């Protein structure tokens, strides 16, 4: 017959036999034994050496002595606990593996970043030296650039309207009109390529030498804008207000003012093209309403 409690939970203070573990603390309080005090190396309760069953077998027998309903609940709970323990161990193993792989990937990322920085630094160092030599290569890009440089040396600027109309070439020869339209088209493409990150650094350097404007959305140059602004002031002096009709033909002032209102709204919404703060202030000083 199996002894349900083969060892005492507390030591009898009168037990003074040799080898008995002390169960009294320094302040005289009696303590419980730990499980290590009661199980031998075979995981059997001490004192039950004659019982050859394992602890699991003893546990199974005790479970079988429960009520049928309780037996099922206990065994299901034990099975769930085993499955949950197994799942947690597997998840922890995957997490540990992922951490190791992440550390390796981060190390490779840092090494790659350093390689990019070093390569970029070397490339930038060679730009100034190689730009003029690369310009000698007989490529379409170099041919267009040389045309732009000729125009820049002659006219003093390298900026063009996005769209050239017939009104823009009135009084020009056929060759002059063709030059203007060609350079307008080509310079617009260079801005687009740069925004996409597709324009080589030496080309950017060469264009910068011609004071190339990479962001023409700020609007027309100050001289042209101020000329239209003066037309608006003259309109106010004549009519007492700045509500210019859209169809007002003189100096295309109605169309120009509509553009300023659109660019004002763009500025407030963070879009391009937009008015600068200075131009907004000047227009408001003479009574322009943005509604």
pLDDT of residue 37: 53
pLDDT of residue 92: 95
**Torsion angle defined by CA atoms of residues 172, 176, 177 and 178, in that order, rounded to the nearest 10 degrees:** 160
User: In this structure, how many other beta carbons lie within 10 angstroms of the beta carbon of residue 207?
Assistant: 21
pLDDT of residue 3: 46
DSSP letters along 183-214, please? HHHHHHHHHHHHHTT-S-HHHHHHHHTTT--S
Instruction: Choose among 24, 27, 44: nearest CA to 35.
Output: 44
User: Chunked in runs of 10, what are the mean pLDDT values of the chain (291 residues)?
Assistant: 44 43 46 51 55 78 83 84 92 95 94 91 85 92 95 86 78 88 92 89 92 70 80 94 88 89 87 81 93 78
- The answer to whether the peptide bond before residue 273 is cis (omega within 30 degrees of 0) is yes
CB neighbour class for 220 (10 Å; exposed up to 12, middle 13-18, buried from 19)? middle
CB neighbour class for 272 (10 Å; exposed up to 12, middle 13-18, buried from 19)? exposed
pLDDT of residue 158: 87
């Amino acid at each position: 017959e199996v002894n349900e409690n083969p060892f005492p939970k507390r030591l009898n203070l009168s037990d003074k036999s040799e080898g008995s573990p002390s169960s009294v603390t320094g302040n005289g309080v009696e303590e419980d034994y730990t499980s290590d005090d009661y199980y031998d190396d075979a995981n059997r309760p001490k004192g039950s050496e004659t019982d050859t069953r394992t602890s699991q077998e003893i546990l199974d027998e005790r479970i079988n002595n429960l009520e049928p309903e309780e037996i099922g609940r206990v065994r299901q709970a034990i099975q769930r606990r085993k499955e949950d323990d197994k799942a947690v161990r597997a998840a922890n193993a995957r997490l540990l593996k992922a951490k190791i792989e992440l550390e390796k990937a981060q190390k490779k990322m840092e090494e790659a970043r350093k390689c990019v920085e070093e390569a970029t630094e070397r490339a930038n160092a060679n730009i100034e030296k190689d730009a003029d030599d690369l310009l000698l290569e007989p490529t379409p890009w170099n041919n267009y650039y040389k045309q732009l440089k000729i125009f820049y040396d002659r006219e003093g600027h390298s900026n063009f309207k996005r769209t050239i109309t017939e009104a823009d070439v009135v009084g020009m020869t056929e060759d002059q009109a063709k030059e203007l339209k060609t350079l307008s088209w080509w310079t617009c493409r260079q801005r687009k390529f740069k925004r996409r990150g597709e324009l080589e650094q030496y080309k950017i350097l060469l264009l910068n030498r011609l004071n190339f404007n990479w962001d023409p959305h700020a609007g027309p140059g100050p001289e042209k804008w101020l000329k239209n602004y003066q037309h608006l002031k003259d309109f106010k002096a004549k009519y007492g207000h700045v509500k210019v009709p859209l169809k007002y033909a003189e100096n295309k002032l109605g169309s120009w003012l509509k553009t300023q209102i659109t660019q004002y709204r763009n500025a407030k919404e963070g879009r391009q093209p937009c008015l600068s703060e200075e131009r907004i202030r000047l227009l408001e000083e003479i009574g322009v309403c943005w509604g």
